[in-house]
Each structure stands twice: as C-alpha cells, then as structure tokens.
Amino acid sequence: MSFPKNFLWGGDISATQAEGGWNEGGKSPVEPDYYIGGDKNTMRYAYYKTEDGQIGKVMQYSGQLPEGAKYIFKEDEIYPNHFAADFYHHYQGDIALLGEMGFKALNLTISWARILPQGIKGGVNQEGVEFYRNVFLELKKYNIEPIVTMYKYDMPAFYVEEMGGWSNRQLIDEYVEFCKVCMTEYQGLVKYWITFNELNVLKVMLKINPFVTKDGYQRVYEELHHQMVAAAKVVKIGHSISSEYRIGCMIAGMFSYPFTCDPKDQIENQKVKQDNFYLFADTMMRGAYPSYAKRVMKEDGVTLNVSDEDKQTLLEGKADFFAYSYYCSSCVTTHKYESQNGKGNLSAGLKNPYLEVSEWGWAIDPDGLKFSLHELYDRYQKPLLIVENGLGAIDKLEDDGTIHDPYRIKYHKAHIEKMKEAVEEGVDLFGYTMWSCIDLVSFSSGEMRKRYGFIYVDIDDEGKGTFKRYKKDSFYYYQKVCQSNGEEI
C-alpha cells in the first residue's frame, strides 16, 4: 500500500461558507456576514456607517473600520454567507453522504461567534457548543475524524467595531480563551486542531489592495504577529489540556517558478516565496522569525518590535504538523511584459505556457504539488497535511438529477497520483482533505456557481433553490479512492 493504513481521506468546509444560519442559535454576525456577492473579477466588500451617518465601503480581509463606524446591511444587496449551503440545518444528511463516500476525515471550522458571540465578556453560548458537539457525534457514527480549524477570517464583527480587530493585542487573549473553551468541551471528540487558516492571507492581500498605505503595512504586520503569538499560545495550552492533541498551523500555498532562466528571476522567485509564504511557515514551524524577515520588513517599511516574552512564546508553541492549501502555481519574473495574466488562489503573475488553466484562470499544476510536498517535508521534517486542493467550475444539474464533472475527476486524479509518488519517495503525508466536499460559497467571490464539491447543492448566487443535495460523478470517483485507500485512482 502506498498510503499509510490510517491515511485521512476526506474533505474540507468552513463555517462561514457552508453553515448558513448566520443569525440563529445565539450566533453573532462575523465579518463575512456583511460581505456582498462578487465575481471572479470583482473583490467583495462590506458597507459601514460612520458616527456622522456617512456610508462607506471596506474591502474583505480588511479587519478595519473608521473609528466609531459600524457594519451595516443594505436591503438591495445579496449576502451569500447568510444562506451558504445551509449545513446548519442539513449536517446530518451531509455527514451521511460523506460516510457513504468512505470519508476518514472532515476538516471544518468552529465559528468563534457561535461559541463566544460577544467575546469573553458575554460568556459561552451553550447552544453553539452543543451544535458542534452534535456535529462531532454525528461524524463519530461514521468513523470520520474531525480536523478542526479554529479561525478562517471570521472573528465576531463586534471585535472590529469595538476593538479594531487583530491590531489590538487584547484579541490574543480573546482568541486563546475561545480555543481553550473548544479544546476543553470537545476533548475525546477531536484530536487534530489547526489554529489559523491560511494565516499569510493578510500579507498577500497587501499587494492587491489599491488603497493600502504605509500605515496599513505596519498594521498588517502587527496583526499577523498577534495571530502567530496567539497560535503559539494555543499550541502550548492545547497540549496541557490533552497529550493526545495534535495542533498544526495552516498556510496558503504560494508556489511559483522563475519565468526565465535569468538568475535574477530565480532570486526574485525566492524572495516572493519568502515574502508571502515562508516568513509565516518558518515562524510557526521553527518557533522564531527567520533571518530574511529583516529584509522583508525593511522593504515594506515596517518596524516590528518583538518582545522577549513573544519570542519565548513562539519557541514554546511550535506547530506539531504543517497544513497547507494547494490549488495552482504561478510564475515570477524581473522582466517587463505587457500582461501579468496569471491568476490563482490569492496570487497573480505571468501565465505559465506549459499548463492548462481552469475556468477561473488558475493554472492546473499537479507536478507542483509533488514539488511542494518534497520541499516542505525536507524543510521541516514534520508530518504534512493537504487541507485544501480542488477545482472550481460551473456544473450543470441535468434533468435526471445527475451532474457530469469529468474535469473535476481529472483534476483530483492527477493530484492524487503526484501525492502518491511523493509518499512512496518518503514524504510523511498523513491526510488529504480536498476543497470542498460539498458545494458552498466561494470566499473570495461570494459565488455559489463556482462549485468545488462532490455533492451538488441546489442553490444559486442569489440564494434561490431547494438546497437539495445531488451526487456528482466525482462523488463515485472519490468513493473508490477513499474505500481503496488511494489504490484505485
């Protein structure tokens, strides 16, 4: 057998993108609840109102509002995260379908706003605690291992309005308490935890935000530092709660190639990966900022004062395993070209002429996945977990209830083959939770029509539909993969 006996075949969902029930069960609004829908060419944003009644817009991922401003909803806008895939009301049937596929794991997030809807001051929302307990018990019925991600850009919105979000160091204590509640409540039901999803996103977004200022760069670095300190604290506390816990970090895979054989392109590619990926991966896995952090911060005009206490916290809270997303790759060059037309998950660059692209313009690069597995395992020598990997596409529901998606089967087959090669060559990979097993709302664009799942959800971008579930052809493909432990791909 190429894959380990207990390899965690599964899928991935997130609370904001799948659950719906945005204002039910004692939950308070989270930032994405205020994001209107967008498309592949339009970033999502939220509306706010200032104290003097002025209406403004703020781009997603911002985590910032003008002082005294509050998020608002507008009646003529559509808020896709309000309905999502309605997992909140369909989780039993959805989990049964995952069990039918032979899932060994489900990566899901716990919404901070369901557990501590008003933060520490408001106390624990027991209804939210019991909702996730019921989800975990349902997973246990089908022998599906939950892998819980604690944060996916979805802090309770009042933290932004009242405290300034992650730029306020006090949020470290708020987040740690949230994690402590979860790790205490679900002891015996959950073993694998991930602190932050794609922690490097804030840094990556700086490059594509046309409104960012010098102060904005300083703020984002401080926010990321607070998140990494918070994550390290959670690792240490989690281990004190249970010696069985395995607590990892998760970074958005930002993998690229030099566009030419010019040595300057090779050096530029190294810098880009350090800037956007390894700066955060190295800190979380090695317990300290890497040497090149000084260069990165100097180039961005940032001065970050890291206290001795923070250094000790990072050192004592190194992650147990490394999790990352992988969708595509890009190309980097120092040369001038008319168009930087390569697209991808939070990335852009030159289009790779050797690769096919998806409907959304993302380069399909299974060889790059194998390359990343070797590079990461050799770098850290700790177990790896692929948390997100998948193909967004427009699927057609036929009159007879079938969905034919050979393009998705082709995508996963090619990537799983490369995973298999990497494992056979010595990489310690313990799981693959593809994105996403059930159709849900795209975080970046707010679209339902950009579908990733093996399970089709009858709902459109405007929230119209029956929410009925249908099995795609890829459902049966992945069923064979899971049930054969990756031998039938």
Q: Mind telling me the catalytic residues?
A: 198, 388
Question: What is the C-alpha to C-alpha distance for residues 325 and 444, in angstroms, rounded to an integer?
Answer: 15
Kindly report the number of other CB atoms within 10 A of residue 234's CB atom: 25
For 286, list phi and psi in degrees, rounded to 5: -100, -15
Q: In whole angstroms, what is the distance from residue 265 CA to residue 277 CA?
A: 18
Residues 290 and 228: beta-carbon distance below 8 Å: no
Q: For residue 410, give the amino acid letter.
A: K
Which candidate, 419, 308, 425, places its Cα nearest to that of 369?
419
- 49, exposed or middle or buried, with CB in 10 Å at 0-12, 13-18, 19+? middle
Sequence-separated (6 or more) residues with CB below 8 Å from residue 232? 284, 287, 313, 314, 316, 317, 318
Beta bridge pairs of residue 265? none
How wide is the angle at C-alpha 98 spanned by C-alphas 146 and 14, nearest 5°? 50
Q: For 141-210, list the strands marked E by DSSP.
A: 145-149, 192-194
Query: In which residue are the tokens 């566009």 written?
Result: 259
CA-based nearest residue to 455, from 11, 8, 9, 7: 11
Q: In what order do the strands lie in the sheet with 55-59?
A: 55-59, 45-49, 70-72
Closest-CA residue to 118 (of 176, 62, 158): 158
CA nearest to 455, candidates 81, 40, 87: 87
Quote the CA–CA distance of 299 and 106 in Å, as a whole number: 40
Distance separating alpha carbons of residues 399 and 470, to the nearest angstrom: 12
What's the length of the chain? 489
Helix (H) or strand (E) holding 433: strand 429-435
Half-sphere exposure of 326 (CA within 13 A, CB side): 27
Q: What is the DSSP letter of 222?
A: H
Of 154, 133, 240, the C-alpha closest to 198 is 154
